[in-house]
Amino acid sequence: MNFIKNNLANAFTLANLFSGSIGVIHLLSGNYKITAVCIILSLVLDFFDGFIARAMKSDSNLGAQLDSLADMVSFGLLPGIVMFKALEPFGNQVFGMEMSFEIKYLGLFITVFSCLRLAIFNLDDEQTYYFKGLNTPSNTILIFGLFYAFQENGSFRVLVESSALLILLVIVSSWILVSPIKMIAMKFKSMKLEDNYPKIALLVGAILILIIFGIVGIPLVILYYILVSLIFQKQLK
Query: Which among 34, 17, 36 has a CA at the least distance from the CA of 26?
Result: 34
Q: What is the C-alpha to C-alpha distance for residues 26 and 13, in angstroms, rounded to an integer?
A: 20
The topology (CATH level 3) of 2-235 is Four Helix Bundle (Hemerythrin (Met), subunit A) (1.20.120)
The tens digit of pLDDT for each residue in 45-82 reads 998 877 776 766 667 777 788 889 999 999 999 999 99
Answer whether 187's CB lies under 8 Å from 129's CB: yes
b/e string for 209-236 if b means 16 or more Cβ within 10 A?
Answer: beeeeeebbbbbbbebbbebbeebeeeb
- The pTM (predicted TM-score) of the whole model is 0.91
The tens digit of pLDDT for each residue in 163-175 reads 999 999 999 999 9
Query: What's the whole-number average pLDDT of the chain?
Result: 88
Q: Which residue has the higher pLDDT, 67 or 21?
A: 21
Q: Where are the domains of the chain?
A: 2-235
